[in-house]
């Protein structure tokens, strides 16, 4: 799947008669004007008839309107479906929607004040100056990258906040997506039974691109819960393009690729997310894990110089992640761990420790705590050589385990800290005891 941002095209299909009696070939308008302009602007065009071939058409259409980063709406003939879809888009997205219409077509009153790009038509209903109009549309699309508000809802009404659909957190997404209660129950049952049951359920769902987004994401994360990295990767290929292109899905694809040992591809996916959407603690945290795995592999292979290079990249990635959002302790505790195991230990860790500790305490106060919050508290206590705090954090870590890979990650980090300190002549028996107690619960 292309990593380019998706541009959803709202327009009629085939030949339609305009208000002036002219026949307009909208397929020609799309193929000769809109599609090439979108591609030249660096986006991937997506028109409803190219992907929706049956099934739950309305659900698929809403997903595309909501999740596509950009949209182009052809208002010519005042098609009712196009206008309805445009209303949904303007309500959800403050910016990144371009309006266009055939030259000579009079826009209805409600949209007449909006900025719309005219294009020329010949007598046979085809674009009569496609090069010029293509260039104009391409410029508008490029300008959309600046995120200038174009929705009249957000231009005219103050204190209206759009839904946060760009960066939905992985586990929150599963909880927030409303979908059929029976399917949710079936997925939970299959998840408990294992990979084979999940695969069987997936087969019963039919074409994945037509299945409700909430179901697909729950299946995706259920494969993650069972450690089925190959199934996660394969599922993304079958998702609808807008859903597959979501930041959260691409982040978890990078996670799965890394766990499957496809390090270079994992890094490419995560770097593309950062390039398209800017830095975030989540994406940089996952990228740091890729570099961290490559460091450990090089170290085991005896390639010390190469290992040092990957360790430096991992430290930088985790540090950029924490600096992009000081509230997220996950990349913070990982950079502390890598700084601790460096030879010699990175002195910056002493400045960062209290900041990361404060970040996780704030998370515990502000929202329902999860496994990673308690695991972070435990890891920080170990880094600070505070046995009492580590033992106090351990019970909460154990009772909040959700998926087997979570405590495996914690044990791995604790082992890295312990081994680094042993190489420096430090022996902390209670750290080994804590590792063993976590292993028993995996």
72, 126: one domain: yes
48 and 107 part of one domain: yes
Average pLDDT over residues 374-378: 94
What is the token pair recorded at 17?
């008669």
Give 109-138 pLDDT, tens digit per residue: 788 888 899 999 998 899 998 889 999 999
36: Cβ contacts below 8 Å, ≥ 6 apart: 134
- Same domain, yes or no: 147 and 175: no
Residue 29, domain CATH: 3.40.50.450
Q: Are residues 226 and 172 in the same domain?
A: yes
Specify whether 191 is located in the same domain as 125.
Answer: no
Looking at the structure, do residues 130 and 179 belong to the same domain, yes or no?
Answer: no
Q: What is the pTM of this model?
A: 0.69
**Same-domain status, 125 and 243:** no
Quick check: 47 pLDDT over 80? yes
* Alpha carbon distances (Å) from 394 to 23, 54, 358, 367, 408: 72, 51, 18, 20, 14
Residues 177, 132, single domain; the answer is no
Q: Which residue range forms the structural domain that includes residue 228? A: 166-261
Structure tokens at 309: 């290079």
What is the count of structural domains for the chain?
2
Determine how many CB atoms are found less than 10 A away from the CB of residue 121: 24
Residues 117 and 12 in one domain: yes
Give the model's pLDDT for residue 49. Answer: 66
DSSP at 77: G
Residue that finishes a domain, picked among 156, 185, 217 = 156
pLDDT surpasses 80 at 203: yes
| pLDDT band, very low/low/confident/very high, at 212 (cuts 50, 70, 90) | confident
Q: 261, 293, 318: which is the final residue of a domain? A: 261
Note whether residue 121 is domain-resident.
yes
How does pLDDT run across 173-189, given as a tens digit for each residue?
555 555 666 777 888 89
Residue in 19, 37, 23, 149 with CA at minimum distance from that of residue 100: 37
Determine the Cα–Cα distance for residues 235 and 223; give it in Å rounded to an integer.
9
Alpha helix segments (H runs only) across 179-303: 181-193, 195-205, 213-225, 229-238, 241-244, 247-259, 263-277, 281-300
Pairing mode, strands 116-119 and 97-102: parallel
Whether residue 283 is contained in a domain is answered as no
**For residue 441, pLDDT beyond 60:** yes
The answer to which of 153-157, 189-193, 210-214, 406-410 has the lowest mean pLDDT is: 210-214
Asked if residue 194 and residue 112 are part of one domain, the reply reads: no
Closest by CA position to 80, among listed 114, 47, 49, 108: 108
Torsion of CA 419, 425, 429, 430, to 10 degrees: -80
Half-sphere exposure of 155 (CA within 13 A, CB side): 11
Residues 107 and 149 in one domain: yes
Q: Which residue has the higher pLDDT, 59 or 252?
A: 252
- Contact status, residue 117 vs residue 100, Cβ threshold 8 Å: yes
Residue of 163 and 154 predicted with greater confidence: 154
User: Could you tell me if 11 and 152 lie in one domain?
Assistant: yes
């Amino acid at each position: 799947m292309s990593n380019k941002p998706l541009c959803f095209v709202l327009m009629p299909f085939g030949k339609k008669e305009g208000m002036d009696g002219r026949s307009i070939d909208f397929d020609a308008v799309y193929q000769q004007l809109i599609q090439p302009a979108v591609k030249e602007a660096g986006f991937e065009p997506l028109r409803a008839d190219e992907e929706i071939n049956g099934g739950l058409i309305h659900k698929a259409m809403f997903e595309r309107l909501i999740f596509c980063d950009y949209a182009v709406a052809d208002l010519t003939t005042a098609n009712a479906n196009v206008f309805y879809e445009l209303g949904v888009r303007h309500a959800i997205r403050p910016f990144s929607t371009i309006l266009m219409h055939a030259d000579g077509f009079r826009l209805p009153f409600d949209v007449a004040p909006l900025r719309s790009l005219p294009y020329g038509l010949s007598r046979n209903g085809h674009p009569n100056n496609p090069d010029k109009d293509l260039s104009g549309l391409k410029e508008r699309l490029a300008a959309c990258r600046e995120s200038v508000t174009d929705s009249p809802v957000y231009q005219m009404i103050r204190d209206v906040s759009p839904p946060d659909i760009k960066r939905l957190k992985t586990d929150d997404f599963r909880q927030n997506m409303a979908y059929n209660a029976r399917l949710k129950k079936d997925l939970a049952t299959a998840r408990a039974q294992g990979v084979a049951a999940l695969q069987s359920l997936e087969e019963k769902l039919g074409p994945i691109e037509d299945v409700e987004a909430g179901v697909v994401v729950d299946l995706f994360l259920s494969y993650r819960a069972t450690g089925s990295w190959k199934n996660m990767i394969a599922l993304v290929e079958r998702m609808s393009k807008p859903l597959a292109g979501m930041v959260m899905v691409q982040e978890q694809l990078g996670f799965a690729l890394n766990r499957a040992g496809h390090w270079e591809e994992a890094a490419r996916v995560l770097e593309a997310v950062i390039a398209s959407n800017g830095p975030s603690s989540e994406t940089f945290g996952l990228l740091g894990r890729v570099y961290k795995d490559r460091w450990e592999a090089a170290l085991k292979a005896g390639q010390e110089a190469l290992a040092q290079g990957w360790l430096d990249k991992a430290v930088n990635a985790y540090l950029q992640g924490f600096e992009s959002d000081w509230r997220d302790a996950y990349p913070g505790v990982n950079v502390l761990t890598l700084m601790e195991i460096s030879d010699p230990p990175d002195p910056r860790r002493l400045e960062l420790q209290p900041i990361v500790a404060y970040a996780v305490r704030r998370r515990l106060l502000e929202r329902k705590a999860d496994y990673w919050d308690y695991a972070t508290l435990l890891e920080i206590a170990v880094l600070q050589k505070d046995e009492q705090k580590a033992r106090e954090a351990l019970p909460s870590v154990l009772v909040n385990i959700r998926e087997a890979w979570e405590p495996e990650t914690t044990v791995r980090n604790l082992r890295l800290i312990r081994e680094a300190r042993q190489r420096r002549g430090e022996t902390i028996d209670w750290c080994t005891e804590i590792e063993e107690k976590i292993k028993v619960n995996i």
